Amino acid sequence: MNPCFDAEAIKANPGTIPELDLELNWHRLHDTEVPLKSHISHKPEKVKALLEVVDRHNSGQNTLPVPMDENTSRKDVPSDLEEEESDFE
């Protein structure tokens, strides 16, 4: 998928609802402020959301998702493996 970053081109020809959904899905991976699909069900709302995210992207103001580090969610959690005895001893 090659997203469109030209706001004027989007305004002139926004595409179909499935095309808008694809664009918005791509932007959701790169911007946490893109509304959930369930919150924008009509085409004018989708076009508005896409234009907003493209403007944020083009101005460098998009909010990047925080990458999930394997150790981030497991801080200060003792490992069960350290406490268990081997079954093979």
In a domain, 88, yes or no: no
Q: CA 63, CA 48: separation in Å to the nearest integer?
A: 17
Mean pLDDT of the 1-28 span: 94
pTM of the predicted model, to two decimals? 0.69
What are the structure tokens assigned to 30, written together? 């790169």
In a domain, 78, yes or no: no
pLDDT computed for residue 82 by the predictor? 58
pLDDT band at residue 76 using 50, 70 and 90 as cut-offs: low
Mean pLDDT of the 5-22 span: 95
| C-beta neighbour count of 82 within 10 angstroms | 6
Mean pLDDT of the 25-51 span: 93
Domain that holds residue 30: 7-58
pLDDT computed for residue 1 by the predictor? 78
In a domain, 12, yes or no: yes
In a domain, 72, yes or no: no
Mean pLDDT of the 57-70 span: 73
